[in-house]
């Protein structure tokens, strides 16, 4: 049987992170959603996102003990639905990211997903009062 490098080393099928950051021009059909209970906070997915929209969740220090490793979260309105993070997580970590239909994300999190990155940024700034 022929040697298949992808079977020998499954991480080879993970796409390389692009050198150039691009932004969305239309609303994607699906958006990545992190399943918090599965996420270890390893950050393996973070550097692969082509639009740099995966970030660590803020640490909860309310109990005065700062030992919990935070999981990651996705800025949904910037996600272009490329699924790269899903492949990275399932190959290198814990299968902690799912793709949800955009309408489901909007309904579940009670947010609006915009067509263009610029509109997403403007909406976020308005929400934050900046
Ligand atoms: S690769 Fe998976 S487990 Fe690691 S931080 Fe990303 S979502 Fe969490
Ligand atoms: S689906 Fe693509 S754009 Fe969205 S969070 Fe994952 S890697 Fe980033």
3-state DSSP assignment of residue 108:
helix
Q: Model-level pTM greater than 0.85?
A: no
Among the listed residues 31, 10, 16, 6, the one whose alpha carbon sits nearest the alpha carbon of residue 92: 10
The pLDDT value recorded for residue 22 is 74
b/e 71-88 (16+ beta carbons within 10 angstroms → b) = bbbbebbbbbbbebbbbb
The pLDDT value recorded for residue 124 is 81
Cβ proximity of 23 and 31 under 8 Å: no
Q: Report the length, in residues, of the chain.
A: 130
Name the closest ligand to CA 35.
Answer: 1
Helix (H) or strand (E) holding 97: strand 97-101
Per-residue pLDDT of the chain (130 residues; tens, 9 = 90+): 565 655 555 555 566 655 666 788 899 999 999 999 999 999 999 999 999 999 998 876 666 666 567 899 999 999 999 999 999 999 888 899 999 999 999 999 999 999 999 998 888 888 878 6
Task: Return the ligand 1 atom nearest residue 46 CA.
Answer: 6
- The number of domains in the chain is 1
Question: Is 46 touching ligand 2 by the criterion CB < 6 Å?
Answer: no
**Atom 7 in ligand 2: residue holding the nearest Cα:** 49
The pLDDT value recorded for residue 91 is 87
The answer as to whether 2 is a domain residue is no
CATH of the domain at 98: 3.30.70.20
Residues near ligand 1 (Cβ within 6 A): 34, 39-45, 71-72, 88-89, 93-94, 96-97
Name the residue of 15, 28, 49 whose CB sits within 8 Å of the most ligand 2 atoms, as the mutation to test its pocket: 49
The answer as to whether 93 is a domain residue is yes
The answer as to whether 15 is a domain residue is no
Place of tokens 């949800």: 100
């Amino acid at each position: 049987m022929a040697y298949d490098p992808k079977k020998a080393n499954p991480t080879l099928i993970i796409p390389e992170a692009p050198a150039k950051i691009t932004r969305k021009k239309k609303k994607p059909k699906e958006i990545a959603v992190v399943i918090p209970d599965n996420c270890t906070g390893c950050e393996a997915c973070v550097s692969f996102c082509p639009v740099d929209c995966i970030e660590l969740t803020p640490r909860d220090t309310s109990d005065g003990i700062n030992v919990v490793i935070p999981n990651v979260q996705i800025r949904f309105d910037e996600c272009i639905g490329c699924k790269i993070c899903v492949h990275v997580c399932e190959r290198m970590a814990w299968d902690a990211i799912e793709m949800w239909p955009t309408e489901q994300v909007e309904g579940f999190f009670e947010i609006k997903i915009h067509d263009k990155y610029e509109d997403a940024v403007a909406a976020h700034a308005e929400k934050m009062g900046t």
